[in-house]
Structure 1
Amino acid sequence: MKNYLSVRETAEKWGVSERRINQYCAEGRIPGAQKFGKSWAIPADAKKPGDPRRRQGRAETAPAETAPGTLFDHTNLMPLMNTAFDPDHCQEAVEAMPAGPRRDIALAEYYYFSGQPEEAIKEAEPYLVSPDRGARLSACLICAYANLSIGQIQQARYALGELNASLASGREQSSQVRAASAFIASTGAVLLHLPLPEEMPDVESFLPLLPPGLRAFALYVQAHYLYLKEQYERSAGIVEATLAMGAASYPIPAIYLHLVAVMDYMSLKRPDQAEAHLLTAWEIARPDDLIEGFGEHHGLLGAMLEAVIKPKWPKDFKRIIDITYRFSSGWRRVHNPITGHDVADDLTTTEFAMAMLAARGWTNQEIAKHMHISANTVKSHISEAMRKLNVETRKQLKQYMLR
């Protein structure tokens, strides 16, 4: 009979944290590991996973342009995110780029941010094995999120594992390479509400090394991280300062910054400010159909999409909700096993949005006023959500809501 070790025993044996063992298991990097409830049983003879690139027979050495002491070329690192363009000119910005990795990665970004994950994967996947670190990191991030949206969870876990491996292997690289790896790895973790990799440096150490558009998105990631820590005022302050200092010129980071501001102001019960940020994000996104972020953030936006977008743009709202269901299904399959947090998966988007507000102390009357519906309708939706989750009090709702 095969012998198994607990997560704690395996962590002690391999000299790593229990969190790292849980990540290895959730990413499918320990053959034979078995899930029991919220924990794992690891075969006693299992080997400690190394850099996942070794399993693919790829070279361990960095290409010449990323050798220690040299500058790292950010050209192919999320180029569309780092491009300033006017709304309704996104595709033109991509087409203006020279043929090659930069344009291909930018096109993959466009497909992803416009809610076309299958097309995004087609463009990005060839660069998963690229010797160019910027292209490879970009491909890993795009493929991780796009695969979540189409239910290819193992591929998503593999790509996320590659991001963490790149960060771990970057210690001996130049500061620019470490900055790129830290930026991508933190983006991969924070947006999925996962623990930050153990090797993650302080944001202050890599932020100045990023070009302006990526720096703006990195500040969105930092604001999102502070939101998760319930530091809403600090998070909103970062957003407002970043936008005031020129981030509004970069549409993709700007959209995401405005969305996290919505999250902050709804948590602070300041819906007028939240609505202003939502409408600004919508004005930037709608001309180029960059709606993916709205679907990704739906559960955190405090029913603002239902209150503002649905009445005026019902067809767009329906597409956003389709993205939400697709993305959140994959998100939970990665998030819940690693964190042990059972975010609800059997509520409608409306029930989830109302339950989020109720769990944060909003009354039925406040929710009704915000969503322009009756208090009885709110009560009915929240009662149904509580019935599905088998809870009796609003306080108990918190354990099933997003954090």
Structure 2
Amino acid sequence: MEGYISIREAAEKWGVSERRINQYCSEGRIPGAERFGTSWAIPESAEKPGDPRKQKKQAAPPKPKKAPELFPGFMPLINTPFEPGRCMQTIQKMKAGPKRDIALAEYHYFSGQAEKAMQETEVYLTAADSGIRLSACWIFAYSCLTMGRIDHARYALDEIKSTLAADGQTASPVRAMEAFVAFGAAVLLHLPLPEEMPPAEDFLPLLPPGVRAFALYVQAHYLYLKEEYSHSAGIVEAALAMGASAYPISAIYLHLVAVMDYMSMKQTDRAQRHLLTAWEIARPDDLIEGFGEHHGLLGAMLEAAIKPKWPEDFKRIIDITYRFSSGWRRVHNPVTGHDVADDLTTTEFAIAMLAARNWTTQEIAEHLDISANTVKKHIFEAMRKLGIKNRKDLKKYMLQ
């Protein structure tokens, strides 16, 4: 049976004061020590407690390695967290120079002012700084698409490829950016994906947080196009829960793809919650571009939730839709050979999209709070314009 020693004996054994032994016992740092009245009995086999400061230092986990900074200056506004309503203040706080100019161009593009964004980025298409040049080309390409200047848009996309090639094909950050740009362009324009795409887990960690959040939107959009709606929605929910909500532009686009997913699954309540959340983020800074870009995929949710309460904003969104979709089709149709409908009104298109997704006339009527006869008239008119005779053929002409 193990014996015990007194406080005095422990102090002599370990070369410390009796007061320190009392402190050790009171703090529970000597396993097996037992109190007897005002004193302590200490197991003979007990070892002197170590310095807790040294123990904490030794126990501290190693700091994770910081990912290499990828093209500093790339899309600075997307990469900057700010509170809704403080977008312009955030830009104004940036140091004067190319980075702030690019951030302002981002704001103008995402607020539906494509012509301003195009003018502001054109001067940086050949900038010496790779991050600034890539940002300028990216914004310029999509601005030109909206403005109907397709040749200019193609030039900017080619310039992106040249920039990445010049910066080194084997460097991991360069390959990460190449994957993001190529994957993003293909998904957002509904074009064939590049033949060789690295797995998302290989390039996502190399992207800065705001761009990474936008890349997750692209990934979710890709899964939506593959009709993997639950998987897509899961990525959105996880991205928002893990901090993407701090980056308003990326958060808006994530919420919009969630609307697309939940409408495809006929979960209209969840779809509406995501749409209104996106609207709450966007409206204070007028960041409405994404709503216009996604109109055809949102399942008439803009008509149901935005038009009744914000009719003037809805009109502006529809104007963006017409301009963006016109340029989009001029790139999409020739490359894919798909004749996506281009002569329907936005209302006809939205209702035809729901019909193509197997929504019944009554379901569409209830969703939009209109009569079944009105729904039938819109579908009939859409089929007449497309030269088809049944709903099954609608899917051939609708955005997928």
Partner of 1:314: 311
Q: 1:75 aligns with which of 72, 77, 80?
A: 72
Asked if structure 2 preserves the Cα contact closer than 8 Å seen for 1:164 and 1:197, the reply is no
Partner of 1:279: 276
Distance change (3 Å), C-alpha of 1:229 and 1:73 = closer
Q: 2:127 aligns with which of 123, 127, 130?
A: 130
Equivalent position SS for 1:172 = coil
Give deviations 1:131-184, integer Å, cap 9, x for gaps: 211111111111111001111011011222333444555653421122122222
Unaligned runs of 5+ in 2: 1-66
Q: 2:113 aligns with which of 104, 112, 116?
A: 116
- Partners in 2 of 1:209 and 1:166 — Cα distance? 18
Letter in 1 for 2:281: I
1:255 and 2:256 equivalent? no
Asked if structure 1 preserves the Cα contact closer than 8 Å seen for 2:70 and 2:206, the reply is no
Task: Count how many residue pairs are aligned between Structure 1 and Structure 2.
Answer: 334
Partner of 2:302: 305
1:351-362 → structure 2 map (5 Å cutoff): 351-362=348-359
Asked if structure 1 preserves the Cα contact closer than 8 Å seen for 2:91 and 2:100, the reply is yes
Q: 2:209 aligns with which of 212, 233, 236?
A: 212
Give deviations 1:56-104, integer Å, cap 9, x for gaps: xxxxxxxxxxxxxx95553311110011000000011111111112111
Letter in 2 for 1:347: L
Partner of 1:180: 177
Partner of 1:59: none
Partner of 1:51: none
Equivalent position SS for 1:127 = coil
Equivalent position SS for 1:79 = coil
Asked if structure 2 preserves the Cα contact closer than 8 Å seen for 1:82 and 1:211, the reply is yes
Q: 2:148 aligns with which of 142, 151, 158?
A: 151
Letter in 2 for 1:200: M
Equivalent position SS for 1:77 = coil
Distance change (3 Å), C-alpha of 1:173 and 1:103 = farther
Partner of 1:98: 95
Identity %: 72
Partner of 1:293: 290
Q: How far 1:185 moved relative to its partner?
A: 2.4
1:88 and 2:85 equivalent? yes
Larger deviation, residues 102-111 vs 173-182: 173-182
- Partners in 2 of 1:73 and 1:263 — Cα distance? 31
Asked if structure 2 preserves the Cα contact closer than 8 Å seen for 1:170 and 1:181, the reply is no
Partner of 1:160: 157
Letter in 1 for 2:118: I
Asked if structure 2 preserves the Cα contact closer than 8 Å seen for 1:134 and 1:180, the reply is no
Q: 1:327 aligns with which of 320, 324, 335?
A: 324
- Partners in 1 of 2:258 and 2:352 — Cα distance? 20
- Partners in 1 of 2:168 and 2:393 — Cα distance? 43
Partner of 2:230: 233
Letter in 1 for 2:245: A
Equivalent position SS for 1:74 = coil
Partner of 1:139: 136
- Partners in 2 of 1:387 and 1:278 — Cα distance? 31
- Partners in 2 of 1:224 and 1:163 — Cα distance? 22
Q: CA RMSD in A?
A: 1.4
- Partners in 1 of 2:310 and 2:88 — Cα distance? 23
- Partners in 2 of 1:295 and 1:381 — Cα distance? 21
Larger Rg: 2
Partner of 1:37: none
Asked if structure 1 preserves the Cα contact closer than 8 Å seen for 2:68 and 2:206, the reply is no
Distance change (3 Å), C-alpha of 1:329 and 1:231 = same
Asked if structure 1 preserves the Cα contact closer than 8 Å seen for 2:71 and 2:131, the reply is yes
Larger deviation, residues 156-165 vs 78-87: 156-165
Equivalent position SS for 1:98 = coil
Partner of 2:197: 200
Asked if structure 1 preserves the Cα contact closer than 8 Å seen for 2:288 and 2:317, the reply is yes
- Partners in 2 of 1:222 and 1:142 — Cα distance? 20
Asked if structure 2 preserves the Cα contact closer than 8 Å seen for 1:354 and 1:382, the reply is yes
Asked if structure 2 preserves the Cα contact closer than 8 Å seen for 1:167 and 1:182, the reply is no
Q: How far 1:212 moved relative to its partner?
A: 1.1
Give deviations 1:265-291, integer Å, cap 9, x for gaps: 000010100000000000000000000
Letter in 2 for 1:227: Y
- Partners in 1 of 2:145 and 2:219 — Cα distance? 22
Q: How far 1:239 moved relative to its partner?
A: 0.1
TM-score using structure 1 length? 0.81
Unaligned runs of 5+ in 1: 1-69
- Partners in 2 of 1:167 and 1:397 — Cα distance? 40
Distance change (3 Å), C-alpha of 1:194 and 1:158 = same
Equivalent position SS for 2:125 = helix
Asked if structure 2 preserves the Cα contact closer than 8 Å seen for 1:112 and 1:146, the reply is yes
